[in-house]
Structure 1
Amino acid sequence: MAKLHNLNRHPIAKTRPDIRDLRVELMSLCSRDGRGADPHRLRELLDDYVDYLDTALSGQGRSIDVSQIQEMLLEVSQIIRSGRAGVSAKDYRNIISHLTGIYAKGLAEEMKCPFIITSVDYADVIEAISQEYPAFDYREVVGQLLYYMSQLFRNRKGSWKMVYEHLLLLPESVDVLALSNRKTFMEIQEWTEQGVDNLFQIYRDYKEMVGQTEHDLAGLERRIAVQKDEMAVQKNSAVIAFDSLRKKRVLKAMLTQKTRLMEELQSKQMILELVEDDISEFEAKLVELRRAYFIRLV
């Protein structure tokens, strides 16, 4: 296999066959059968992994394979948690610094999406490294994760909670609470325990119910209009229609149904607005937490 390690430490483009071979070799060396693997080669492969992630997330004129990036970050996390990579403190610093630099690019408005989606897996890698190397200064990393957590929530992604859980699992030496607004952080924890992550599903359910009720109401109003037109024709006719009384009863029933549907629609819309208010309030708390965090860093 061609040597993939970039001695100048600049990201280099790798074709799909190259990266496939790289992933196979790395996972093989870190498997149970790879206990005797060369630690230097493992570190080279990890460097190449992060180089590729940098290149892949930048897109470089190609579509970004988000699923592949997620899988690769998961593999890095698994390798670190396995304890078989033989990574030194210096290696951990290099990996964290490189990943931090990569995900700093996601703060740019025009290229957010792939970074936001994969930030959960980024958080997983950081949490895995922090368990092995708690002495690192994680302040910049935590700031990034708070930002991506709020972006995931803003984009209605339930995975925001996974980032939050990874933050909670950082070692005590990192002390996320001390680095942020303790009151707001505890409020977020309270909301989480009360099921704030269910708000999106509740919102979707009620949005669908409101839409269905509006559809039913519109259909009923069309039938009422037709019924009234038919009754008007009968009223102006010289011949008294045999079923005029029946039509009146049908119209009365439809008008009663319309009243019921309007009340039902109003009730569902009120609940939907309350859920929207809760979502907005919690989103504001996430933004407040991130703002307070950066103020404390200054």
Structure 2
Amino acid sequence: MTDQPAADEALLGPAEIRELAAGLDIRPTKQWGQNFVIDKGTVRKIVRLAGVGADDVVVEVGPGLGSLTLALLPQVRQVVAVEIDRRLAEQLPKTVETMAPAVLDRLRVVQQDALTVTELPDPQPTALVANLPYNVSVPVVLSMLQRFPSIEKVLVMVQLEVAERLAAGPGSKVYGVPSVKAAWYADVRLADKVGRNVFWPAPNVDSGLVSMVRREPPRTDVPAAQVFACVDAAFAQRRKTLRAALAGWAGSPAAAEEALVRAGIDPTLRGERLSVHDFAALAAARAAPSNA
């Protein structure tokens, strides 16, 4: 492993980031939610909190100009960088070759939209570590966990509000669809908060680091898609009782109540009171043959 002082020499600072962006005529766009990390301490923190090591294959979504990539490469077996912007995808290997040539062979670049990528080069990723564009952060995390079961751990930087939603538990004011779906795949926690001044350009919101460790789903007798359909329905009308909110999903209010009772759930509760285990039990109860 490269020690920290040596690794620090290969990290990008504010001047290098701006120079690279100017050379590529790149202006960060809101369309792709681009905010480049310019703080070396932040990328070191992300790598440390990710808990990745020499055996890990990391998929990094939206590597941008390479701030986090350069911090990851000396520490892991391989980094698979998924970048939608062609100019950034083509520049990344050149930046690594210039700043850290000894680890260039550990980099693979996939120029594709992370929301549509279905295959990654072998070896398959064991971790997702990324500074995610705010506008697609939740879909990216959930789709990566769904499509690549080899991913065992996640450390992503997202908008703080999104981070808090992902890590929220039942009963919390910010508990909702992302919270439940993330909990289907993993144990989720808010690992740290990040200020605005570590980015260029500085966003108008704070960020958060979300840690996820994959575990077995709550149940194996009901597909995730069925559980997620139930979750979506419950939170689409979150002020209504579950009996009313799930009427469309179940076929009628009576059918919703029957499924809720069979799952051992009070039909007068609202969706924010249910855990992922409750939603899984409810989906299973709805799918099971009725005794009526």
Higher Rg: 1
Relative to the length of structure 2, the TM-score reads: 0.29
Higher relative strand content: 2
Relative to the length of structure 1, the TM-score reads: 0.29
Higher relative helix content: 1
